[in-house]
Structure 1
Amino acid sequence: MNLAHRKRQLVRDELAEAALKLLAIQDFEDTTIDQIAAAAGVSRRTFFRYFQSKEDVIVESLATVGEELRAALEARPTGERPATVLRQTFCLFEQACAEIPEKTLRLTRLILHTPALNARYLERQAEWKAALAETLALREKASRHDLQPVVAVGVAFAALDAALGAWVAGDGKRDIADLLDETFTLAFPR
């Protein structure tokens, strides 16, 4: 990674952190781009060099999740049931929640409870679902028209959403891994 790229990433990270700090004390709708830029110590024009909207500042933190999920799914041993493969793939969410729990909780709460952000999250999630269903189909040697991988991935994301919702509702007190185990058991009974 060259110096210019590191600098660019640093500014992006500062804008995202400034947005999260502001959003921790005020409503998303009341937070302006000017406030985010000022809190990060940059101009409004600089903000727009990095992001198209304030929603992008928050949703951008999810940019690499799809690729990471796909790589995790591809790395799983062959022969595992789809439910097991998907549950283990979703350990990525556990890691994020464990590494920086307060920030992840704030971000997750914001995404789940702000309609504009939730819509953007669901757009991203649709992309992740398609990529994971394609990868799962390849693993299972299923045809392009087989619905099993699509349904399995859809059910797995429903389990993830239920676990994240419960985690946020419980103010992060319950372990996300336990919640994922519980929701996956409900979603994929033996």
Structure 2
Amino acid sequence: MASRAGSSMAERKRRLVADELRDAALMLLATRGFDAVTVDDIVAAAGMSRRTFFRYYASKEDVVVRFLADMGTDVVAELAARPGSEPPSVALRHAVWVPLASCTGHPDHAERARVVVRLILDTPALHARWLERQIQWRAGLAAELAARHGLDPDTDPYPRLAAGMALLAFDTVLQQWRAGDDEQRLAELTDRAFAMVAPALDASHGAHEPDRRR
């Protein structure tokens, strides 16, 4: 038990260091732009060494990629946690709201997050990684939707189509996110986007009832 506790503590410490490096990197990227920031800048801002940085990240681009990976993990995990009786549009709306909500807890944090998102969308190299990650998110969401509704994702088009529509709504919200938008405004954008795709997401809800054995 002592060994497991020590391992858990070490893991928390590693996560804390990784998060501090990520936060420093994202803050610099948001204020200076991707090309202007170096690894030396990041470690100086975090008060750490280059050796420590490369223990956790392969490059400054890898920081952004890991940030996107965590975002996708949160979305899929939230969908899995939603009640099986919820209409797909409601469950998916809650799922994609998780990373958005984490960005809007504090006005300064929200604006920094918005700038980072804008940086990702506007920097070709980062946007390419964004699109790569969305392919993985779509696969994860589709697998969860198939499981929730007892469908075969290899033969039924609904899970992939629904996952794709949810991510398109999410991407639309990010594209419309403007400076000064608070949590309420971002929630309104999200509600509006999902209201538009809800009829398609829920059209087959009666035929795709959740598998009650889960």
Corresponding residue of 1:143 = 152
Corresponding residue to 2:170 among 160, 165, 176: 160
Which whole-Å CA distance do the structure 2 matches of 1:117 and 1:153 have between them?
Answer: 22
CA separation in 1, counterparts of 2:84 and 2:9? Answer: 40
Identity %: 46
User: Which position in structure 1 is the counterpart of 2:95?
Assistant: 89
- In the other structure, the counterpart of 1:188 is 198
Q: TM-score, normalised to structure 2's length?
A: 0.78
Is the CA contact (8 Å cut-off) linking 1:162 and 1:183 kept in structure 2?
A: yes
Tell me, in whole angstroms, the C-alpha distance in 2 between the residues paired with 1:94 and 1:23.
19
Counterpart mapping for 1:21-170 below 5 A: 21-99=27-105, 100-144=109-153, 145-167=155-177, 170=178
Q: After the TM superposition, which of the residue ranges 129-138 and 36-45 deviates more from structure 2?
A: 36-45
User: Structure 1 pair 42/153, CA: closer, same or farther in 2 (3 Å)?
Assistant: same
Q: How far 1:172 sits from its partner (Å)? A: 4.2
Shifted more, 66-75 versus 156-165: the winner is: 66-75
Q: Which has the larger radius of gyration?
A: 2
RMSD: 2.1
Letter of the 1:171 partner, please give it: A
CA 1:86 to 1:33, structure 2 compared with 1: closer, same or farther past 3 Å? Answer: same
Q: Secondary structure at the match of 1:64?
A: helix
List gaps (5 residues or longer) in structure 1. Answer: none
| Structure 1 residues 45 and 184: CA distance shift in structure 2, 3 A | same
Q: Is the 8 A contact 1:163 1:176 kept in 2?
A: yes
Corresponding residue pairs, total: 188
Could you tell me which residue of structure 2 aligns to residue 177 of structure 1? 187
- Contact 1:97–1:176 at 8 Å: present in 2 too? no
- The verdict on how the C-alpha distance between 1:24 and 1:97 changes in structure 2, with shifts beyond 3 A counting, is closer
CA distance in 2, matches of 1:72, 1:25: 31
Residues 58 and 107, structure 1, Cα contact 8 Å, conserved in 2: no
Q: Which runs of 5+ in 2 are unaligned?
A: 1-6, 201-214
Higher relative contact order (CA 8 A, sep 6+): 2
